[in-house]
Amino acid sequence: MKKIVIVFLFISGITLAGYFVISNANNQVKIVPRAQINKINKQEPKIKESFPFDSILCSFPRPILPNDSLLKLHLLGKFDYTKDSFFTAVSAEHCTKPTYLQKETYKNFKAMFAAAKKEGVILKIISGTRNFNEQKAIWERKWETNIKTMDSIGAAKKILLYSSMPTTSRHHWGTDMDINSLENSYFQSGQGLKEYNWLKKNAAKYGFCQTYTDKKTVVRDGYQLEKWHWSYIPISSLYLKKYNELIDYSQIAGFKGSKLAEKLKSIEEYVNGIDKNCKICD
Ligand SMILES: [Zn+2]
């Protein structure tokens, strides 16, 4: 008993004097100064990826964004991209149908296209910017099919495997595009595999990132794996940040099943359900 009291007094004494008694992983007791304890507690956990996304993607010059009222229309797809000064038509050699992208996105895509071509890889955009009405047409076509055989939640969830509700699609933003095929299987062998490997290795140098990576290997919510969907991060990472500031569920409306958006956590799990490497530059 006497021994315990003496140890207690000793520990209390050094704590008051600015020292702490701690035990390490091997249960060895150490006495360390208070200042050092504060330093240990302040250390941030190391979560940065080894792949150089942060050093490459975040080294791009900060883009000029539209003012908040126009930006809000971009985020919701409620604008005419053929007349918007931030957008431009894509040349036929880079796409398979008439396509528009933000000028900055397209400039960097062209640089990536040229580099890939030199290595025998052709990157064709099969879908670029889509506005609210175009996304609504895709959504409601799938809705009408699904609703014949399932309830409304089931119908929406099935569409949400690969397609967005209008007002929540990154394709509204002019930063995102689908390249070469809409089938993951295409990218598993032959030319498709060569294209995908090239993009995985090089796209970040031009500012592009695969947003919908494999949920079996990365932690994220939302859509299934899409090896074809690439995003110009220097702009889209800022658009995502602004989406979370400016948009709420009252604006996700005007299409069949839109009332389910909040229940399905469309903003939290789908708009924000992207690979974490694609949202670090803010
Ligand atoms: Zn896409």
Domain boundaries, the chain: 2-42, 53-279
Where do the DSSP E strands lie in the chain? 19-23, 29-33, 87-89, 100-102, 125-127, 176-179, 208-210, 229-232
What angle, rounded to 10 degrees, do the helices at 233-246 and 68-76 form? Answer: 100
Percent of the chain at pLDDT above 70?
Answer: 79
d(CA 240, CA 27): 46
How far does residue 116's CA lie from ligand 1's centre (Å)?
Answer: 20
How far does residue 213's CA lie from ligand 1's centre (Å)?
Answer: 12
CB 110 within 8 A of CB 243: no
How far does residue 11's CA lie from ligand 1's centre (Å)?
Answer: 62
Of residues 76 and 26, which shows the higher confidence score?
A: 76
- Would you put residue 254 in left (φ > 0), alpha (ψ -120 to 50) or beta? left
- Would you put residue 172 in left (φ > 0), alpha (ψ -120 to 50) or beta? alpha
71, HSE (Cβ side, Cα atoms, 13 Å): 18
30 — pLDDT class (breaks 50, 70, 90)? very low
How far does residue 52's CA lie from ligand 1's centre (Å)?
Answer: 24
Contacts 24+ apart (CB under 8 A), 214-220: 218/275, 218/276, 219/276, 220/273, 220/274, 220/275, 220/276
Query: Which class would CATH give 53-279?
Result: alpha beta
Average pLDDT, rounded, for the chain: 85
State which amino acid sits at residue 92.
A
How far does residue 130's CA lie from ligand 1's centre (Å)?
Answer: 10
d(CA 266, CA 241): 15
pLDDT at position 146 is 98
Nearby residues for ligand 1 (ion, Cβ within 5 Å): 178, 229
How far does residue 129's CA lie from ligand 1's centre (Å)?
Answer: 9
Q: 3-class SS at 19?
A: strand
**Is this model's pTM higher than 0.75 or not?**
yes
How far does residue 56's CA lie from ligand 1's centre (Å)?
Answer: 23
pLDDT at position 55 is 59
Strand 19-23 to 29-33 pairing: antiparallel
How far does residue 64's CA lie from ligand 1's centre (Å)?
Answer: 24
pLDDT at position 106 is 98
Complete edge-to-edge strand list for the sheet that includes strand 229-232: 125-127, 176-179, 229-232, 208-210
Span 264-269, mean pLDDT? Answer: 98
d(CA 238, CA 130): 19
How far does residue 3's CA lie from ligand 1's centre (Å)?
Answer: 70
Q: 3-class SS at 32?
A: strand
d(CA 92, CA 113): 13
Q: Which of 210, 206, 209 is nearest to 227 (CA)?
A: 210
How far does residue 178's CA lie from ligand 1's centre (Å)?
Answer: 5
Task: Give the model confidence (pLDDT) of 213-236 as tens digits.
Answer: 999 999 999 999 999 999 999 999
